[in-house]
Chains A and B, each alone.
Chain A
């Protein structure tokens, strides 16, 4: 398959791509909790493609919640970053596609993740590094899970990014209510208290997601809470 035909794959092809990793025809909510968010980002928001993975001005997408990366790999395959054939090797010893992504093995993967609570702090550094090099039009997006927010390292990043008005940073919290003790008062409120702008949207509604990602909100970092089905 050539890169040109790979790029023709669309949202409707994602289930079949997932099946190449799971072996199942149907996929439950937990396997696909991030799928729509990822699709909207790569299809409509991020200024990055297979040909610009090394471009300094590319938007950065950091998947912090590295577990359950099948949706991520499926989207990367659909968009031509990786050959769909790689999906058949998912988790094998010599596969580039592990149960947690490795940025040195997969084109387009910005960070190696798996241990929770690293992506958002790294994303703060990435956004600051781009700003220091004058790339103020380049955005940094970080996807975290609502349970991942349990990790205290996130809160160092949330507080600092808010206090310094790091407005090239967008956090996406995929909320499937899997945090053991929940977030009384709402996830958005945690960010808002630290000076972030917030939007809470249906994590399956592509139009709402796109709008939340692209509404310009200068002066503040931005968080999109994407609410999906409760983890089963």
Chain B
């Protein structure tokens, strides 16, 4: 199963288990949830292609005590409906879970309208939102349950891109995978496999996380020396402030790698887009070596 299928299965189970759980859709993935909708017609709501309504309805459900999940493609869920996220959840002091698919450029062939490299940076403007970026489908169920069964707000960012194996649970910790060398390379979510390949013969430490808000700053402080390379599968530098704050009491250098701000105006595959942002193993290796790794 890919991440979306895992999400559908786990959400359907949550809807069965807890009468507080609700799901709001805007057509996307509605067919996959048809069975759940049949079982829970009052708590599985498809509003049609109306993303701002989807988020507002989810906020309204939360105001009555339900635990809503709103789900769509990342650019429509977060970017189109951002004022609804900001006001109808955060400002109302209502909480819920937003689950996206599409990531930065999973739908490479669909073009820029379906790409959302800026989603995490936008969510990061809101106070107290958890942001979870699974790197493998097997990491999705625990991250989803952690999001939904808690009482805060969270953003779960699913992707068709995944590492070959899961590497972390849902406790949010930074997991050390390679401990030699002076440079620490932190790989977020699906960036781990490209980072491991890029650094295979380099003398660098590698750590992995699928939870960037809250970021495991204690783990970062424990694992980092003076040089940190942060590799995120969305807008480059999104977590730069976290690293700066965490290491603010020691001299340090940080290199932030991720998706650039360029609209490539290209189609093809996600793998075609990686080199243009320096996120293929060769590009990552070049950047890491240039920075001293």
Contact = CB atoms under 8 A, between A and B. Distances in A.
Interface of A: 56, 103-104, 110-112, 115, 118, 121-133, 153, 156-157, 159-160, 163
B50 interface: yes
B58 interface: yes
Given A121-B84, A129-B65, A160 B48 contact: yes
B240 interface: no
Given A111-B63, A118-B84, A160-B48, 20 more contacts: A110-B63, A112-B87, A112-B91, A115-B83, A118-B83, A118-B87, A121-B52, A121-B60, A122-B63, A122-B88, A123-B60, A124-B53, A128-B60, A129-B60, A132-B64, A133-B64, A133-B65, A133-B66, A156-B52, A160-B53
B188 interface: no
Contact of B53 (A103, A121, A129, A132): A121
A129 B43 CA distance: 8
Interface string B41-85: 011010110101100111111111110100000000000000110
A132 B92 contact: no
B206 interface: no
A159 B49 CA distance: 11
B50 A125 contact: no
Given A118-B87, A128-B60, A132-B66, A153 B53 contact: yes
Nearest to A132: B42
Contact of A130 (B53, B56, B64, B87): B64
Nearest to A126: B60
Contacts of B236: none
A123 B64 CA distance: 10
* 7 A-B pairs with least C-beta separation: A125-B60, A129-B64, A121-B56, A125-B57, A156-B53, A132-B42, A129-B61
B120 to A, nearest CB: 23
Contact of B59 (A125, A127, A160, A163): A125
Nearest to B41: A132
Interface in B86-116: 87-88, 91-93
B22 interface: yes
A131 B43 CA distance: 9
B59 A122 contact: yes
Tell me which of A111, A156, A157 has the highest count of chain B C-beta atoms within 10 A of its own C-beta: A156
Contacts of B83: 115, 118
A157 B92 contact: no
B42 to A, nearest CB: 4
A56 B56 CA distance: 20
Nearest to A152: B52
Nearest to B58: A125
A163 to B, nearest CB: 8
Contact of A160 (B47, B58, B91, B92): B47
